[in-house]
Structure 1
């Protein structure tokens, strides 16, 4: 596994005019792997990505099975800011009972029953709902959360351009805080396979930093 990032060139108006919806970001990510081949399931290897805001700069962060081509990764980025590293040694160093600092971008939704229709997917809109959404899914993903040790630090709706021409909006919630690893196998799977829905469109990538003793 590889962890890569590039600073997005937000000062370039032409580039930013293209980045109008998450489908463009998805295409950017896929285009960064020009030599990729289908896996045994007949699909391209999954990539996880998200947009981070750090010190008034925006970065595209990416986790992938293969190394991206850095020149392609800079398509909408600042020249010479792309970088990649082997992520697997860090993942392998994590262990049960370890407490880490995490950041996650997710799509917290709920399926509500509507008479005569299939379940209608609705976004969680309050901070309490969004926090409970993550807590409810922590155990099956191999970690434990305590109320007060994590928070929703950002929430917005992002555009998604459907092939039908419609432009629905996706609910995007950024979480940050501390968690404890309870099942290392499930947790490692979470880091490389992602959390929840809409992973192709900038959701589901969790990153962690060990907390010193």
Structure 2
């Protein structure tokens, strides 16, 4: 099975680099990718399986980064904050049919209408989904990930945004509507679930979308 690591970075609010990185999704993406080897081909994020999201906590934002390569945390500025990495292999290997888990995924639910529908309703190529439509999108994604959702709470989040300049030199605006999905589920297909955890879900993966986190559900109190 492919190795998997989870890194938690607790940025120091006094760090100007950390404050700058949290302003746009593009700046944060660049910072996180700097922790992995250079010259990794045309898509280093996919090669190293890098997925991330920002978690709001009572003490401030934490950064969660999942990867298939151990990040080099010494590349963070010395005043950036604290960071730790742990393997996820034991958790992934313990998955079995019937296991009840808790899940969290910040994702960018969208649909891509066909050309005829776009022309008839003057729609863009990608339509962001919210509300019930976003919930239905998540249920389809969960089914494809080998999960049976038993509880779902969805919360809209701020849009992931920024401006990037690819090798073509043309500036591109990044804009991903985000929803956080939390709840409980039953594992139906462990292999499908492992694959989706490692690959991520939906679009916007370089910019804080698609990381599916799971943990065994605690037994209900008697």
> Quick one: distance in 1 between partners of 2:36 and 2:70?
8
Q: TM-score, normalised by structure 1?
A: 0.85
Residue 195 of structure 2 aligns with which residue? 189
- Contact residue 49 and residue 198 of structure 2 kept, 8 A: no
Residue 151 of structure 1 aligns with which residue? 153
- Residue deviations 1:101-140, cap 9 Å, x none? 1110100111123129996101113x21211110122211
> Quick one: distance in 2 between partners of 1:37 and 1:158?
25
Q: Which runs of 5+ in 1 are unaligned?
A: none
- Contact residue 48 and residue 68 of structure 2 kept, 8 A: yes
Residue 137 of structure 2 aligns with which residue? 133
Report the Cα offset of residue 89 of structure 1: 1.3
> Which shows bigger deviation, 160-169 or 176-185?
160-169
Q: CA RMSD in A?
A: 2.6
Q: TM-score, normalised by structure 2?
A: 0.82
Q: How does 1:56-205 map to 2 (within 5 A)?
A: 56-73=59-76, 77-78=80-81, 81-112=82-113, 113-115=117-119, 120-125=125-130, 127-146=131-150, 149-163=151-165, 164-205=170-211
> Quick one: distance in 2 between partners of 1:83 and 1:174?
24
- Contact residue 100 and residue 187 of structure 2 kept, 8 A: yes
- Contact residue 15 and residue 80 of structure 2 kept, 8 A: no
Name the SS for the 2:215 alignment partner: strand
Report the Cα offset of residue 204 of structure 1: 0.6
How many residue pairs align between the two structures? 206
- Contact residue 103 and residue 183 of structure 2 kept, 8 A: yes
Name the SS for the 2:163 alignment partner: coil
- Residue deviations 1:48-101, cap 9 Å, x none? 1111112242111111111111122457831xx200011111110111111111
Over 3 Å counting, the alpha-carbon distance change for 1:114 and 1:75 in structure 2 is farther
